[in-house]
Amino acid sequence: MKLTKNFSEIHLDDIPLVGGKNASLGEMFSELSSKGIMVPDGFAVTSEGYWNFLNGNGLVPKLADLLSQLDLETFNNLSDIGATARQLLLGASFPKDLGDEIISAYKQLEERSGKTVSLAVRSSATAEDLPTASFAGQQESYLNVQGEENLIMTCHRCYASLFTDRAIKYRADNGFDHMKVALSIGIQIMVRSDKSCAGVMFTLDPDTGFDKVALIAGAWGLGENVVQGSVNTDEYLVYKSVIGKVKQPIISRKLGSKEQTMIYAEKEISEISKPEDAIVNLATPLERQQHYILDDEEVVQLAKWAVIIQEHYQRHMDIEWAKDGVSNQLFIVQARPETVHSQRKSKGIFKEYRIREKGELLCQGIGLGNSVTSGIARLLKSPKEIHKLNAGEILITRRTDPDWDPILKKAAGIVTDQGGRTSHAAIVAREVGAVGIVGTGNATKVIQDGQLITISTAEGDTGYIYDGKGSWDEQEIDTSKIEIPQTQIMLILAHPDKAFRYSMLPNSGVGLMRMEFIINNVIRIHPMALHHFDQLADDGVKNEIEDLTHHYPDKKDYFIHKLAEATATIAAAFYPKDVIVRMSDFKSNEYANLMGGKSFEPEEQNPMIGFRGASRYYHPLYKEAFEMECQAMKMVRDDMGFSNVKLMLPFVRTVNEATSVIALMKDQGLARGENDLQLYMMIEIPSNALLAEEFAKHFDGFSIGSNDLTQLTLGADRDSELLSEIFSPFDPAVMQLIRMSIEKAKSAGLKIGLCGQAPSDYPEYSRFLVECGIDSISFNPDALLNGIKNIGAAEKNISNIANNAL
Residue 615 makes CB contacts below 8 A (sequence gap 6+) with: 651, 653, 657
Strands (E), 591-741: 645-649, 679-683, 701-705
Q: What angle do CA 26, 30, 31 make, to 5 degrees?
A: 115
Cis omega (within 30 of 0) on the bond before 576?
yes
Phi and psi at 441, nearest 5°, equal 85, -35
Annotation marks residue 424 as catalytic: yes
Residues forming a β-bridge with 372: 456
- Spatial distance between the Cα atoms of 407 and 402, rounded to a whole number of angstroms: 10
Helix (H) or strand (E) holding 154: helix 148-160
Annotation marks residue 155 as catalytic: no
- Spatial distance between the Cα atoms of 230 and 439, rounded to a whole number of angstroms: 9
Residues forming a β-bridge with 465: 363, 455
CA pseudo-torsion sign 709, 715, 720, 721: negative
Helices 148-160 and 78-90 cross at an angle (nearest 10°) of: 150
- Spatial distance between the Cα atoms of 415 and 455, rounded to a whole number of angstroms: 9
Is residue 490 a contact partner of residue 778, using CB atoms and an 8 Å limit?
Answer: yes
Is residue 456 a contact partner of residue 384, using CB atoms and an 8 Å limit?
Answer: no
Q: What angle do CA 252, 255, 257 make, to 5 degrees?
A: 155
What distances in angstroms separate CA 404 from CA 206, 360, 380, one per listed residue? Answer: 21, 29, 11
Describe the chain by its helix, strand, coil percentages, rounded to 5: 45, 20, 35
What distances in angstroms separate CA 643 from CA 241, 363, 674, one per listed residue? Answer: 14, 39, 10
- Catalytic residue, from 316, 424, 495, 526: name it: 424
- Spatial distance between the Cα atoms of 596 and 529, rounded to a whole number of angstroms: 5
- Spatial distance between the Cα atoms of 617 and 528, rounded to a whole number of angstroms: 12
Helix (H) or strand (E) holding 617: helix 614-617
* Pairing assessment for the beta strands 119-125 and 141-145 based on DSSP bridges: antiparallel
- Spatial distance between the Cα atoms of 341 and 134, rounded to a whole number of angstroms: 13
DSSP, res 715: T
Mapping DSSP to helix (H, G, I), strand (E, B) and coil, where does residue 641 land? coil
Residues forming a β-bridge with 455: 373, 465
Pick from 757, 305, 330, 297: which is nearest to 512 by CA? 757
At residue 106, what is the residue type? Y
Active site residues: 424, 755
